[in-house]
Amino acid sequence: PEALIPLRQTWPDALVRRYREAGYWRGETFPAFLRERAQRLGSRTAVVGGEQRWSYAQLWERAETAAAGFLALGLVPGDRVVVQLGNVPAFYSVVFGLFRAGLVPVYALPAHRITEIGHFMRKSQAAAYVALRSYENYDYRLLARELQAQAEAGELPHLRQAVIVGGDAGEFADFDAFAPNPALLPTEDPDPQSVAFLQISGGSTGLSKLIPRTHDDYIYSFRASNEICGIGEDSVYMVALPAAHNFPMSSPGAMGAFYAGATVVLSPSPSPETTFALIERERVTDLGLVPPLALLWAQAAESTKHDLSSLRVLQVGGAKLTTEAARRVVAGLKCRLQQVFGMAEGLVNYTRLDDADEIVLNTQGRPISPDDEVLIVDDQGRSVPEGQPGYLLTRGPYTIRGYHNDDAANARSFTDDGFYRTGDVVLRTPEGYLNVQGRAHDHINRAGEKISAEEVEDHLLANPQVFDVAVVSIPDEYLGERICAFVIPRAGEARPRGPALKAWMRERGVAAYKIPDQIVFVDAFETTAVGKTSRKELRARLREDFLKAQ
Ligand code: J2J
């Protein structure tokens, strides 16, 4: 197979010095900090999930066993490993095991299917795939088999191992049978400036990009988040959203909680029916939700028999929380609200716990770091007058300078002087807080899941009954936005039906959250006077006409 493309994330030397001198980057690494916590806090509870309850000592021991097991399979430091696990304690023994072994996790979500997983495997040149035996009624050995078939056909030249977690591994390597073997483990911790893992982008144009994050930059982001969010040893942090998502991982997330020596409680579902009982049982103090869930919780909390009085801070982020929705959340849940506006590429903004209600209800917060640089610009890249909306560009001690293995995306998404073009339209208040107004790209923010219109269009266009398609976001009371596909059937073919098109897309192996919520058949797309129209204009016009007709 072709050589591995090096994993890197580089800031200019002067900034590296600056970030070190300012104490942001301290040379810490994932394995080093967890080892220290295990030594210092040994018997304290690190993670609770299902029937399992592991102390810090046990989590570290399991990570070391995992590390030895991966290396015993023939993986070598620097190899990338696509990890697809749900909200179970093994999520953390696997990823800390990979860190300990010098292997690089690539974080997939449980909802991803062969289309997405195949893409991550190819882009990262992954040597291995690790998945749960089953989660949310899906058998991930099916996916492992599809990957193996692609590997045999020469399409995944780097793939050498598939590992199943949770028993019944079948023909694959059995994670649960991994044995400790200290002799196999590296004697040194990784370089703190090296890439620790690849996170997945929200995918604004086309397929998801891979986001290389270093030990130094990521640990800074959650250590500083702990300060801002008041996470300490006595905190009990619940992971209700998918554990692999950047929000519950790092803002301050499970990683922040482990860093603080706190307890992480995993919920298999974010629904009030599941979470409320767990909150009561484990005395959960902090967690993050997306806006639709926060509204659902606020409503359910009014009539629950469960004791939610341990809750201290509810964070809401991933999509815009309107002022009215924020009011309802505050009224329904008797705890502090914190708005979080973040992105897997880096920059995270928080309202502060001692901010006035005015700010907490009306803004999406301000950046973590004094060295987060924020520009708000117009189409030409010129700064807009203070208080006016514009495109948000950012650069700083935990924002990436480039995606992995994607020159075209890098040319689009980063300025020559290293600013990341977030694609978000924001304005800044006189107090320096950001208010998210919209976005530049055609993507759909469906309850915090970002879906590229282009990616869904590409799938539907592959159907022989489809002549043309435009995918747009439609405001949705519950989801925030839903996916609507306008489809022109192909003349001469049997006219497709909505449910059949959706089923067809599912069978292609696409994450269920990308399947259109609504399909509208049209005879033609109206074109402008010029006769040609950009997809962007077309989508905008279709959305507008559709909403007017409602
Ligand atoms: C409006 N839009 C928001 C908000 C994210 C913490 C919290 C969230 C994410 C995340 C994250 C928003 N109001 N409060 O990684 O660490 C939209 C913006 C942004 C995009 C990033 C974290 N919070 N958004 O959601 O990588 O459009 O990260 O650019 O999934 O979500 O999506 P993602």
Closest CA to 94 of 68, 127, 66: 66
Residue keyed to tokens 């999406």: 364
List the structure tokens of 184: 């196999």
Q: How far is the CA of 189 from the centre of ligand 1 (A)?
A: 31
Task: Say how many Å lie between the CA of residue 280 and the centre of ligand 1.
Answer: 28
In the chain, what are the domain boundaries?
24-215, 269-439, 443-549
With a 6 A CB cut-off, is 422 part of the ligand 1 pocket?
A: yes
pLDDT for the residue numbered 207: 86
Whether the Cβ atoms of residue 2 and residue 157 lie closer than 8 Å to each other: yes
**From the CB of 250, is ligand 1 less than 6 Å away?**
yes
What's the pLDDT at 203?
62
Most ligand 1 atoms within 8 A of CB, residue of 209, 321, 341, 347 to mutate: 341
Separate counts of helices (H) and strands (E) for the chain: 17, 27
**DSSP bridge pairs for 236:** 263
> From atom 27 of ligand 1, which residue's Cα is the shortest distance away?
424
What percentage of the chain exceeds 70 in pLDDT? 98
Question: Across all residues in the chain, what is the average pLDDT?
Answer: 95
Q: Is the pLDDT of residue 538 over 90?
A: no
Q: Is the CB of 436 under 6 A from ligand 1?
A: yes
Distance CA 300, CA 296 (A): 6
Q: Which amino acid is at 27?
A: G
Taking the CA of residue 449 as reference, the ligand 1 atom at the shortest distance is 30
At 302 the pLDDT is 94
pTM above 0.80, yes or no: yes
If residue 20 lies in a helix (H) or strand (E), which one and from where to where?
Answer: helix 13-21
In short, whether 263's Cβ falls inside 6 Å of ligand 1 is no
Ligand 1 atom closest to residue 439's alpha carbon, by position in its atom list: 27
Ligand 1 contact, 364 CB (< 6 A):
yes
Q: Which residue has the higher pLDDT, 206 or 168?
A: 168
Q: What pLDDT digit, counting tens, does each position of 345-360 carry?
A: 999 999 999 999 999 9
Nearest atom in ligand 1 to 443's CA? 27
Handedness of CA 206, 212, 217, 220 (dihedral sign): positive
Cβ neighbours of 262 (radius 10 Å) = 24
What's the CATH superfamily of 269-439? ANL, N-terminal domain (3.40.50.12780)
Q: Which two tokens stand for residue 61?
A: 């021991």
Q: Is 253 left (phi over 0), alpha (psi -120 to 50) or beta?
A: left
Nearest alpha carbon to residue 385 among 338, 440, 428: 428
Establish whether residue 424 lines the binding site of ligand 1, counting it when its CB lies within 6 angstroms of any ligand atom: yes
The answer to whether 102 touches 186, Cβ cutoff 8 Å, is yes
For the chain, what's the residue count? 550
- What's the whole-number mean pLDDT along residues 452-473? 93
In angstroms, the CA 444 to CA 474 distance is 8
> Considering only CA atoms, which of 315, 322, 320 is closest in space to residue 448?
320
CA 255 to centroid of ligand 1, rounded, Å: 18
Distance, CA of 413 to CA of 407 (rounded, Å): 10
Q: In sequence order, which residues have a C-beta less than 8 Å from that of residue 138 and are 6 or more positions away?
A: 110
Residue closest to 90 by CA, chosen among 144, 147, 145, 131: 131
The verdict on the CB of residue 128 being under 6 Å from ligand 1 is: no
The answer to whether 24-215 and 269-439 have equal CATH topology is yes
Question: Is 64 a pocket residue for ligand 1 (Cβ < 6 Å)?
Answer: no
Residue pair 172/182 in contact by the 8 Å Cβ criterion: no
CB of 317 closer than 6 angstroms to any ligand 1 atom: yes
Q: Kindly report, residue by residue over 303-342, the tens digit of the pLDDT.
A: 999 999 999 999 999 999 999 999 999 999 989 999 999 9
Tell me which DSSP letter residue 530 carries: T
For the record, the structure tokens of 187 come out as 């004697």
Does the C-beta of 338 come closer than 6 Å to ligand 1?
Answer: no
Average confidence (pLDDT) over 372-385: 96
β-strands 128-132, 138-139: how paired?
A: unpaired
At which residue do the structure tokens 């097991």 appear? 69
256: how many CB neighbours lie within 10 A of its CB? Answer: 28
Ligand 1 centroid to Cα of residue 544, in Å, is 25
Which pLDDT does position 541 carry in this prediction? 87
> CA 163, CA 169: separation in Å to the nearest integer?
8
- 119 CB within 6 A, ligand 1: no
Q: 530: how many CB neighbours lie within 10 A of its CB? A: 6
71 DSSP assignment:
H
Indicate whether residue 62 lines ligand 1 (CB < 6 A).
no
CATH architecture of 443-549: 2-Layer Sandwich (3.30)
**Distance from the CA of 352 to the center of ligand 1, in angstroms?**
17
Q: Are 369 and 363 in contact (CB under 8 A)?
A: no
Reported ipTM: 1.00
- The backbone torsions φ and ψ at residue 402, rounded to the nearest 5 degrees and listed phi first, read 180, 155
User: Is the shortest distance between the CB of 318 and ligand 1 below 6 Å?
Assistant: yes
Q: Going edge to edge, which strands form the sheet with 52-55?
A: 52-55, 45-49, 263-266, 236-239, 286-289, 313-317, 336-343, 346-350, 366-367
Nearest CA to ligand 1 atom 32: 343
pLDDT for 337 equals: 98
pLDDT digits (tens, 9 = 90+) for 492-530: 888 889 999 999 999 999 999 999 999 999 998 876 545
Quote the tokens at residue 20. 């070190």
Has residue 531 got a pLDDT over 60?
Answer: no
Atom of ligand 1 nearest to the CA of 250: 16
Q: Does ligand 1 have an atom closer than 6 angstroms to the CB of 251?
A: yes
Torsion angles phi and psi, residue 263, rounded to 5: -110, 135
463 half-sphere exposure, CB direction, 13 A CA radius: 28
- Two tokens, residue 472: 């747009």
pLDDT tops 80 at residue 377: yes
Please name the CATH architecture into which domain 24-215 falls: 3-Layer(aba) Sandwich (3.40)
Residue 367: pLDDT band with limits 50, 70, 90: very high
The number of the ligand 1 atom at minimal distance from the alpha carbon of 422 is 29
- Per-residue pLDDT, averaged over 20-45, amounts to 98
Least Cα distance to 218 among 204, 198, 234 occurs for 198
Instruction: For residue 546, give both structure tokens.
Output: 């559709």
H-only helix segments in 153-271: 215-229, 246-250, 253-260
Given a cut of 70, whether residue 174 has pLDDT beyond it is yes
**Ligand 1 centroid, distance to 522 Cα (angstroms):** 33
